[in-house]
Structure 1
Amino acid sequence: MENNIAVGLDIGTTKIVAMIGRKNEYGKVEILGIGRSKSLGVHRGVVNNITQTIKSIQTAVQEAEAAANEKIEGVTVGIAGQHIRSLQHSDYITRSNSETVIDEDDIDRLIDQVHKLVMLPGEEIIHVLPQEYKVDGQAEITEPIGMYGGRLEANFHVVVGQVASIRNVGRCIKTALLDLEGITLEPLASANAVLSQEEKEAGVALIDIGGGTTDLAIFKDGIIRHTAVIPFGGNVITEDIKEGCSIIEKHAELLKTKFGSAWPGENKENEIVSIPGLRGREPKEISLKNLSKIIHARVVEIVEQVYLEIKNYGHEEQKKKLIAGIVLTGGGAQLKHLKQLVEYITGMDTRIGFPNEHLAGGSDEEITSPLYATAVGLVMDGLKRNERKKTEELQEEEIVLEEAETETEVEGEDQPQETVTETTKPKRRRSFLDKLTESVRDFLDKVE
């Protein structure tokens, strides 16, 4: 597989999507192939049947390979599920020498300290995001590197998840004979695909309504401020229709997508849909008004839970106000009149998020559906990772050349040779998701 190609693998509750993409000459993402399969081994975002999930992954991957005419080796995978939660935490370090400026090592030390927080059994910290720093009590510092100070403190957004669930995902990918190139939080991936930088600055809540879970990511001043996973999604709506109308799941899903609406006022009393009966039984007649009442009741419950999370973040405080309102994405965002209902419940501006913000111009209508927001975001994440790797390799080559040159210059002279390596080596702080990917990889290698 070429270096400038990346593959996103979205392991959802209802579908598994493999998407192959690359950057075109304008820096936009071009989707080369897409494969999807029914997800059979995942419940509420968590793998509960490894064999089934591996089969579904292989089906999606083969379909994407055939469409793009590329061989898939490594994938960037998204993690979500009801085990993900987030918390706010403040911590500080006292520097031994306040005569020197704050550098990367100080920040790493501070972040490592957050990692020592005591979690519930089986939970591990996945993601530590510094929000803003304080140096010697001076607040609202976004980048403390290069400043003088004795006490460095920061507020952190800490995302916590069950490590066994993440390892299970890793296991499925490895057994499907794929390389795990990166792990990303699904709400973050979807956000990258559908939000603009201006929205993230102004303050925005991204609500990704999937089959098994609804993910929330809140941004303000360009920084992620809050994440939550609510264990309800489109599947519970289908389940309600199935129970309420006494029909089979396949018909309930069709009714929801074809005739469903989140706003009961829309349908007249006399609008009726006829559903074929099972095995020679009489067809069933279902009134659309009743259908939308069932959907409305469940959607209101999901939206109110999300709104509660938005309030917990502090949206009602002037400084934390989300000026850009709400962006809805995911398969569930395609439900008719959902936007109006969300605006009615929350009183916030709402739009549907299509992942076309970063896609190349002539992209297929199908790909720009909210359904594929997470997959597009994962492809973007994979491409970014490839670029970082390239830059690092180039920098390392340059250093090797510089060292060789310095050595030849020094050879003819008597002065003691200085070591160049320490000062010139660029140090990149690895993101926690990179470290998480490595730890999952190491764990799986040891188990084999």
Structure 2
Amino acid sequence: MKQGKYSVGLDIGTTKIVAIIGKENEYGKIEILGIGKSKSLGVHRGVVNNITQTIQSIQQAVEQAENNSGLKIGSVVVGIAGQHIRSLQHSDYITRSNSEEVINEDDLDKLCNQVYKLIMLPGEEIIHVLPQEYKVDGQAEIKEPIGMYGGRLEANFHVVVGQVSSIKNVGRCIKSAGLDLGSITLEPLASANAVLSQEEKEAGVALIDIGGGTTDLAIFKDGIIRHTAVIPFGGNVITEDIKEGCSIIEKQAELLKIKFGSAWPGENKDNEIVSIPGLRGREPKEITLKNLSKIIHARVVEIVEQVYVEIKNYGHDDQKKKLIAGIVLTGGGSQLKHLKQLVEYITGMDTRIGYPNEHLAGDSDEEIASPLYATAVGLLMNALKTQAKKEAFQQEEQEIASAMGEKSMNTNDVDTAPTTTTVTRERKSIFDKWSDKLKDFLDNAE
């Protein structure tokens, strides 16, 4: 695989694992070059609980994507979710030693690093440190403080925390599947990149990604991430309820949900019946669609109400924090019939289904534009962005190196001041540093 041309997103979900290869075309849209999908066997509610099965599922999806595209997959960007993820708000500040100098990236790094040292519960570690607004010498609501003068630099942070062991298990699976771990991204953030517009993020929007094992929430306002949460229920719980309620096997329950399921019981008449073949010569079972949608409705209401509690916790009722763009539903579970209407009824907020097709090239396969692939497309976008940054930085370094080479020739090989070599440097985010730490751990844990 030619590095710099293609990138890979790997979505390790509870029901499916998707590997997606793509590149950016000349119009800035994403061209999908190959996709591989396999049944996820070793993941429960977003957390790996069987390493061997997860490795096999990853290899299957990767192999399929490679065969589809004729390319070799090396490094991947992976999504992380699961019930162990939680988020918190934190404020911190630094006092600058020289207020006569303008604020630079080093100051922001120093402030972020300080947050990174927060003491968490045992077994937890900070995954993302996301600055929201800055304050310089008491002047509030500054989005970009670089280039300003000031002695005290403050910021509000949205801190995402996860279980170290769960994250390391994901890393171990990637490595054992013969892949390199590019970076890890919180799945709701990846889905948000794929399906939300900048206008929605500015106006205020709640993204609800209903997966198989978990329902992820990401809230944006004024273009900044404000709140994230992972609710440990998803589409699989609905399937489980149908299985129990109708006394049928899981495979039949899943098919019933997809083909005839509805979140709104009033839609079905009492005389609408579906017949399920019996097991090994037993009589077929007859199930009324009204009963089916009652079972689905009860569980969906529970999931939506839990999400709404999180939206209220963020402060949606406060006029300043109001989410004008309402709710965007995505993920496989969002395809349930009449779910949009039910969410609007419970929350009273405008709702739409989010498709990741806005960022895809026009000739992309229709299947990929399904909400099912929102996270995978978001991870691919993330991988491409990281790749582009890396290339830009390398190019800048080469230009500086050649400029310095010319300079030394012009000055008859007189040594130039050593400070010029540090004109640019790649600014690593807290999360990149954390990813590097994880990679080191995995390399040493052989």
Taking structure 1 as the reference length, what is the TM-score of the superposition? 0.97
2:432 aligns with one of 413, 431, 434:
434
Partner of 1:447: 445
Q: Which amino acid aligns with 1:137?
A: G
Which residue of structure 2 lines up, in the alignment, with residue 122 of structure 1?
123
Deviation at 1:151, TM superposition (A): 1.2
Q: How does 1:35-74 map to 2 (within 5 A)?
A: 35-74=36-75
Structure 1 residue 267 displacement after superposition: 0.1
Paired with 2:424 and 2:192, the residues of 1 have a C-alpha distance of 30
Tell me whether 1:373 sits opposite 2:374 in the alignment. Answer: yes
Structure 1 gap segments, 5+ residues each: none
Provide TM-score, normalisation by structure 2: 0.98
Q: Deviations over 1:9-39 (max 9, x none)?
A: 1000001111111111211101111111110
- Alpha-carbon distance between aligned partners in 2 of 1:223 and 1:431, rounded to the nearest angstrom: 17
Question: Could you list the per-position Cα deviations for residues 158-208 of structure 1 after superposition, in whole angstroms to 9, with x for gaps in the alignment?
Answer: 000011111111111111101111211111111111111111111111100
In the aligned structure 1, how far is the partner of 2:190 from the partner of 2:258? 25
Q: What is the alpha-carbon distance in structure 2 between the residues aligned to residue 408 and residue 33 of structure 1?
A: 48
The aligned residue for residue 418 of structure 2 is: 419
Q: What is the CA-CA distance between 1:279 and the residue it aligns to?
A: 1.0
Per-residue CA deviations over 1:343-391 (Å, capped at 9, x if unaligned) read 0001111000001010001211111000000011111111111111110
Contact 2:112 2:430 in 1 (8 A): no
- Structure 1 match to 2:138: 137
Which residue identity is paired with 1:220? K
| 1:331-352 deviation digits (Å, cap 9, x = unpaired) | 0000000000000001111000
Residue 102 of structure 1, CA deviation: 1.4
1:408: how far off? Answer: 2.2
Question: Percent identity, aligned pairs only?
Answer: 78
Structure 1 equivalent of residue 172 of structure 2: 171
Deviation at 1:72, TM superposition (A): 1.2
* Alignment match, 2:301: 300
Q: CA deviation at 1:405?
A: 2.0
Equivalent residues, number: 445
For residue 445 of structure 2, what is the amino acid of its counterpart?
V
d(CA) in 1 for partners of 2:198, 2:407: 43
Distance 1:26 1:149 in 2: 41
* CA distance in structure 2 between the partners assigned to 1:436 and 1:251 by the alignment: 43
The letter of the residue matching 1:121 is P
Distance 1:420 1:436 in 2: 28
The 5 A counterparts of 1:19-38 are 19-38=20-39
Q: Which amino acid aligns with 1:392?
A: F
Distance in structure 1 (CA, Å) of the matches to 2:309 and 2:427:
35
Matches within 5 A, 1:259-338: 259-338=260-339
For the Cα contact (< 8 Å) 1:91–1:153, is it kept in 2?
yes
Shift of 1:217: 0.6
Determine if contact 2:208/2:330 at 8 Å carries over to the other structure.
yes
Higher alpha-carbon deviation: 234-243 or 432-441: 432-441
Query: Once the 2 structures are TM-superposed, how far is the Cα of residue 410 of structure 1 from its aligned partner?
Result: 2.7
Structure 2 gaps of 5+ residues are none
Q: Which amino acid aligns with 2:366?
A: E
Give, as a single letter, the amino acid of the residue that structure 1 aligns with 2:5: N
Secondary structure of the structure 1 residue equivalent to 2:208? strand
Give the AA of the match of 1:381.
Answer: N
- 1:410 matched to which residue of 2? 411
CA contact (8 A) 1:183 1:436 kept: no
Q: For the residues of structure 1 that align with 2:425 and 2:349, how far apart are their CA atoms? A: 42
- Alpha-carbon distance between aligned partners in 1 of 2:18 and 2:107, rounded to the nearest angstrom: 40
Check the 8 A contact 2:86/2:228 in 1, yes or no: yes
Q: Distance in 2 between matches of 1:95 and 1:5?
A: 42
- Give the direction of change, closer, same or farther, for the CA distance of 1:420–1:109 in structure 2 (3 Å limit): closer
Cα distance between partner residues in 2 of 1:256 and 1:417: 71
Superposed displacement of residue 429, structure 1? 2.2
Letter of the aligned partner of 2:420 in structure 1?
T
Separation in structure 2 between the aligned mates of residue 195 and residue 233 of structure 1, nearest angstrom: 21
SS in 2 for 1:411: coil
